[in-house]
Amino acid sequence: MLQPDITVIKNILIRAPNWIGDAALCLPAIEALKAAYPQAEITALARPWVSPVFLNNPSIKRIIEYDKGGMHRGISGRLKLIQDIKRRGFDMAVLFQNAFEAALVAFMAGIPVRTGYARDFRGFLLTHPIRVEQNIKKTHQVFYYLKIAASLSKNRQSSDVSRQPKIYLTEEEKSRADDFLTKNGMGDGVVVGMAPGASYGPAKRWMADRFKEAAGRLADDYGAKLFLFGGKDDREICNNVLDGLNGLNLAGEIDLRTSIALLSRCSLFITNDSGPMHLAASLGVPTVAVFGSTDPKLTGPLGDRVRVVKKDIACSPCLERECKYGHYECMKMISVDDVYSAAAHLLEENKQGVENF
């Protein structure tokens, strides 16, 4: 595929993925895009619930929130969005989101260069469609997105670009998080974050009573205090995990940016395969990720301080939301000892690193 002329690309629109985890995983591709077009300004078009992932990112100049349930609702709302995009005079649209609508919006906004995967019957709307090959489906999601950026660059395998997603916080956000910890008696010692929910479905959720037992052991052995993270639908399961332990249930109580800031202050994070898992890994927080029906080779957390706990079982990964056999063995086989051992290893490793600093 012929790359766009770098000298004429000054204003780039990216269409961000709609899920928090996917948004985090496309961050290296955005960095690669900026490296390929350093003179260009990049604007992210993102749904409101994922836009905080892109805040304060040095590769992104501005964010347009695509509020499909509000100001961009219905046909008139979509046309309003298209006119807004058209007015901004973008030279190129890079679609990390796979939907037909993403390509249609870029086409109707008159953006001259439009690229993304030729999926969802949208190839004819793209000037630079990327064929979906079988091998790309078998690679980690980070590389799935990086291939889009690589297709637009002469230096397709740039070693200057990190494969590790990174989220950026302001000093003010860090300070507010520190103040919150101090105010709640968590300023010193070990703080363990947990995300026992997973909106995808029960096949991605390790049992709440096992989260609770692991938390209790970490409290006994390390004096750990707990932060429970999640959405409002996770509040009950987080209450069950926290019952009788020292900590706070933050599920559904704070916005995403505050969650990210507090996550960054955790000594350790234990989570199912979920959006918060990728946020923690992107912040460099030591992370234990429990996998059941999904495949860590495709969507696992990246980084030196992550541990994936998964059992080999014939029917996994099935990628199903619910166990079609009804037994959920991929999760039941993961013991508290398995998770505690991974968590303790990361805590000891982190403590050793601090002592040697």
275 and 134, same structural domain?
no
187 and 141, same structural domain?
no
**Is position 168 within any domain?**
no
CATH code of the domain covering residue 140 = 3.40.50.2000
For residue 279, what is the enclosing H or E element? Answer: helix 275-282
Pairwise CA distance, residues 219 & 236, whole Å = 21
**Is position 126 within any domain?**
yes
pLDDT tens string, the chain, 357 residues long: the values are 567 776 789 999 999 999 999 999 999 999 999 999 999 999 999 999 999 999 999 999 999 999 999 999 999 999 999 999 999 999 999 999 999 999 999 999 999 999 999 999 999 999 999 999 888 888 999 999 999 999 998 664 445 567 899 999 999 999 999 999 999 999 999 999 999 987 778 899 999 999 999 999 999 999 999 999 999 999 999 999 999 999 999 999 999 999 999 999 999 999 999 999 999 999 999 999 999 999 999 999 999 999 999 999 999 999 999 999 999 999 999 999 999 999 999 999 977 544 433
248 and 186, same structural domain?
yes
- Answer with the one of 150, 166, 193 that is the final residue of a domain: 150
For residue 248, what is the enclosing H or E element? Answer: strand 247-249
**Is position 194 within any domain?**
yes
Q: 216 CB contacts (<8 Å, ≥6 apart)? A: 244, 245
User: Could you give the dihedral angle defined by the CA atoms of residues 25, 27, 33 and 36, in that order, rounded to the nearest 10 degrees?
Assistant: -110
**Is position 331 within any domain?**
yes
Pairwise CA distance, residues 343 & 98, whole Å = 35
334 and 260, same structural domain?
yes
103 and 179, same structural domain?
no
**Is position 167 within any domain?**
no
Long-range contacts of 184-191, Cβ-Cβ distance < 8 Å, separation of 24 or more? 184/248, 185/225, 186/225, 186/227, 189/223, 189/224, 189/225, 190/218, 190/222, 190/223, 190/224, 190/225, 190/267, 190/268, 190/347, 191/224, 191/225, 191/226, 191/227, 191/265, 191/266, 191/267, 191/268
Tally of CB atoms within 10 A around 244: 9
Pairwise CA distance, residues 129 & 118, whole Å = 5
At 128, the amino acid letter reads: H
The backbone torsions φ and ψ at residue 148, rounded to the nearest 5 degrees and listed phi first, read -65, -50
220 and 124, same structural domain?
no
99 and 51, same structural domain?
yes
For residue 261, what is the enclosing H or E element? Answer: helix 256-263
Q: Are 310 and 329 in contact (CB under 8 A)?
A: no
246 and 106, same structural domain?
no
Total domains present in the chain: 2
323 and 208, same structural domain?
yes
Structure tokens at 231: 């959405």
242 and 203, same structural domain?
yes
**Is position 323 within any domain?**
yes
- Answer with the one of 97, 117, 150 that is the final residue of a domain: 150
Pairwise CA distance, residues 307 & 297, whole Å = 13
Sequence-ordered alpha helix ranges (H) in 109-246: 134-137, 141-150, 171-183, 208-222, 235-242
Quote the domain boundaries for residue 143: 11-150
62 and 126, same structural domain?
yes
Nearest to 193 by CA among 292, 274, 299: 274
121 and 29, same structural domain?
yes
The C-alpha angle with vertex 22 and arms to 284 and 113, in degrees rounded to 5, equals 120
Structure tokens at 88: 């901004």
**Is position 215 within any domain?**
yes
- Answer with the one of 150, 185, 201 that is the final residue of a domain: 150
The DSSP symbol for 187 reads: S
**Is position 161 within any domain?**
no
Looking at the DSSP bridge assignments, the partners of residue 308 are: 289
* Edge-first strand listing for the sheet containing 11-15: 62-65, 41-46, 11-15, 92-95, 113-117, 128-130
Residue-by-residue DSSP string for 336-353? HHHHHHHHHHHHHHHHHH
Nearest to 69 by CA among 81, 82, 83: 81
